[in-house]
Structure 1
Amino acid sequence: MTFHVPEMSCGHCTAKIETSVQAADPTALLIFDLDSRQVEIDSADESDALLAAIKSAGFEANLL
């Protein structure tokens, strides 16, 4: 699943998102594209759970 995270702009942002998502699903794989402000997440969790994890890291996101 790919999410657009408009406020994600640096390595600190990606680290917070990765920590939060992997707290919910330790096996999740994340690929970040800071230029397009997108993160691709390979997880068994549903998109709603991943959106909640991103939000708990302090970022709003939209599923693409």
Structure 2
Amino acid sequence: MTEFSIPDMSCGHCKAAVEGAVFTLDPQAVVVVDMAARRADVTSAVADAAVIAALAKVGFPAEVV
């Protein structure tokens, strides 16, 4: 599991976009979003850099915490 900080995530639509970006890379991923902390825990076989790139592509710059 990797925890990502996603400071621009602020609503349900944002949460869905973040989840969708990860699931596009890995449909078997487990994504747990904490809206209040603006973080997401991602368990996936995909590299962290690929997740960061996918999130940036949908407008949510992220970094590993």
TM bin (shorter chain): over 0.9
Tell me by how many angstroms 1:25 deviates.
0.7
CA distance in 1, matches of 2:44, 2:11: 23
Which amino acid is the alignment partner of residue 4 of structure 2? F
CA distance in 2, matches of 1:57, 1:30: 16
CA distance in 1, matches of 2:18, 2:38: 12
- Superposition pairs for residues 21-40 of structure 1, below 5 Å? 21-40=22-41
Which amino acid is the alignment partner of residue 48 of structure 1? A
Q: Aligned to 1:3, what secondary structure does the other structure show?
A: strand
- 1:60 matched to which residue of 2? 61
Which amino acid is the alignment partner of residue 9 of structure 1? S
Structure 1 residue runs without a partner (length 5+): none
- 1:11 matched to which residue of 2? 12
Which amino acid is the alignment partner of residue 14 of structure 1? K
Tell me by how many angstroms 1:20 deviates.
1.2
Q: Aligned to 2:40, what secondary structure does the other structure show?
A: strand
Q: Is residue 47 of structure 2 the alignment partner of residue 46 of structure 1? A: yes
After superposing on structure 2, the runs of 4+ consecutive aligned residues of structure 1 that deviate more than 3 Å are: none
